[in-house]
Amino acid sequence: MSIHFQAQMPSGWKATSAIRVLRFPGGEMTLVVPADLEEKPAYATVTGADPSDLITLGLWADYARRLGQRAVAVLPYLPAARADRGVPFGAKVYAELINSFGLDQVIVFDPHSSVAPGLIDNVKIVGSAPYVRRATIGRVGSAHDYVGVIAPDAGAVGRAQAAASALHLPLFRAEKHRDFETGKLSGFSCEALPRHGRLLVVDDICDGGGTFRGLAEATGLPKERLTLFVSHGVFSGDAPALRQHFGEIITTDSHPGSAREGVATKVLSIRNILAPYVEY
């Protein structure tokens, strides 16, 4: 399970809830609430996109409302955010499920596009730029050797530009090239890069890592000069091979894949990032 319940204690402090998740032999989910429970529900965090966790979130939201409390969900990795077009319209299907829970606030982190969060009721979008800065150089003005930010493709330009602005660094754009007949990737190109210093590649999701490996190879730079920041580390397939191309790989624990051994060199706590945005 990748769902966590945070509760407000009688003292006013927030702590992990004593509520447990139980799966019946028939496969259905339920919550086990201790009879002498004094806590109040604060918020639930779901990492990844396991449908069982989403159903459990719905159960928790029902429990919170029946106690007269707000139902707030932290959903950093918005399910089906990449399925924002086509048939079936995955983003809409997941959004309708989430909306059916009647959540008072849904907090998402660096969604793939504006489409999926636009379908969610009471959504709060948190961008990645401030956390890219903190994870790479720390405070503004701190000494560092970064000389630029790279957007790996056209879809990443907006978030990479936001990160570049937060870092006070120039943005360099890369492009994917496809074979017109097959639609398959044929290569990458990138604007001319500085001859010295480190460069930071910024994007939202890393699945198998093929785009980032191809980009790194196209730059011809040694891994010591390249850092990768992705908000959501799915890290499937050949993702460990990224270590051959990037000296540092940074992500959050918004997805269980972030814990895969041999990929990320630094994993940020998504609950620490998003908890301040919860409206009680």
Domains, in order of start, for the chain = 3-126 (3.40.50.2020), 129-269 (3.40.50.2020)
Per-residue pLDDT of the chain (280 residues; tens, 9 = 90+): 699 999 999 999 999 999 999 999 999 999 999 999 999 999 999 999 999 999 999 999 999 999 999 999 999 999 999 998 889 999 999 999 999 999 999 999 999 999 999 999 999 999 999 999 999 998 776 778 999 999 999 999 999 999 999 999 999 999 988 877 777 777 889 999 999 999 999 999 999 999 999 999 999 999 999 999 999 999 999 999 999 999 999 999 999 999 999 999 999 999 999 999 999 8
Sequence-distant (6+) residues with CB within 8 A of 220 are: none
SS (H, E, C) the chain: CCEEEEEECCCCCEEECCCEEEECCCCCEEEECCCCCCCEEEEEEECCCCHHHHHHHHHHHHHHHHCCCCCEEECCCCCCCCCCCCCCCHHHHHHHHHHCCCCCEEEEECCCCCHHHHCCCCEEEECCHHHHHHHHCCCCCCCCCEEEEEECCHHHHHHHHHHHHHHCCCEEEEEEEECCCCCCEEEEEECCCCCCCEEEEEEEEECCCHHHHHHHHHHCCCHHHEEEEEEEECCCCCHHHHHHCCCEEEEECCCHHHHCCCCCCEEECHHHHHHHHCCC
Query: Which residue's structure tokens are 């360099």?
Result: 172
Inter-residue contact 190 to 138 (CB < 8 Å): no
Q: State how far the Cα of 228 lies from the Cα of 249, in Å rounded to an integer.
A: 5
Inter-residue contact 219 to 242 (CB < 8 Å): no
The pTM for the full model equals 0.94
Q: State how far the Cα of 102 lies from the Cα of 96, in Å rounded to an integer.
A: 10
Res 157: pLDDT: 97
Res 176: pLDDT: 87
Beta-strand pair 171-178/185-190:
antiparallel
Look up residue 69 and give its two tokens: 């409390």
Strand partners, 4: 45
Look up residue 254 and give its two tokens: 């918004």
Sequence-distant (6+) residues with CB within 8 A of 194 are: 147, 148
Res 136: pLDDT: 96
Query: Which residue's structure tokens are 């959050």?
Result: 252
Sequence-distant (6+) residues with CB within 8 A of 92 are: 119
Res 87: pLDDT: 92
Res 1: pLDDT: 67
The length of the chain is 280
